[in-house]
Amino acid sequence: MSGILEGKRVLITGVLMESSIAFHTAKLAQEQGAEIILTAFPRPTLTERIAKKLPKPTKVIELDVTNDEHLGRLADIVGEELGGLDGVVHSIGFAPQDALGGNFLNTPFESVSTAMHVSAFSLKSLTMACLPLMQNGGSVVGLTFDAQYAWPQYDWMGPAKAALEATSRYMARDLGKQNIRCNLISAGPIGSMAAKSIPGFAELASVWDNRAPLEWDLKDPEPAGRGVVALLSDWFPKTTGEIVHVDGGLHAVGA
């Protein structure tokens, strides 16, 4: 029986550690029949080492999503490797340390601007860089952390994720005519490299211990990876502009 991504070609960003959602997305995508290509920044060699743990070998491309030169050459490099694309996974987020950890009211705009550029605007710039390769439509899937709420310690990454969520909706509106779907997975907290960069992450994550209807495991990124793969597949052919929660159900309950 073939996998749900059989014959699909997918670009995946953000594979930094074996514990990351992006790594498990890449692993599951290959297991479900996809050809994949990875991007990495600022340390492609780190991603190349991690990629060796995937079921099949895959190429790693250096890509800084804030660098127009990198974005401008992306389609040529990926096209030469895969011929085209059916899916793009945006698993990129960054905020300077002074934009996190309880410093919300004192963060300078320069740091806020960086967080917005890398974490939200890059969804649009990455997708547009890949657009020439998506002649037959496709699926763009990003990762968010529920921006309905103000989370402890998360600070300016919260507004950045809100901007990401709005960006995905506008992209769904404007790319629908090209049969390109744009959706997000809103995942619960995972003990990834991104999480370790957030001061006081344990306080944020502890909310899940008390409120999530389904038991949540910080060490298990696979459920979120499965959500990404499902949205990349043809099983959601008319779903776009959506945010699918893979968070143990916490978003649905109060205190």
Annotated catalytic residues are: 154, 161
Q: Return the number of other C-beta atoms located less than 10 Å from residue 226's C-beta.
A: 16
Q: How far is it, in rounded angstroms, from Cα 115 to Cα 103?
A: 14
Token look-up 């990003």 returns: 142
Contact 147, 162 (CB under 8 A): yes
Which residues, at least 6 apart from 218, have a Cβ–Cβ distance to it below 8 Å?
Answer: 189, 190, 191, 205, 208
Identify the bridge partners of residue 39 per DSSP, sorted by sequence position. 61
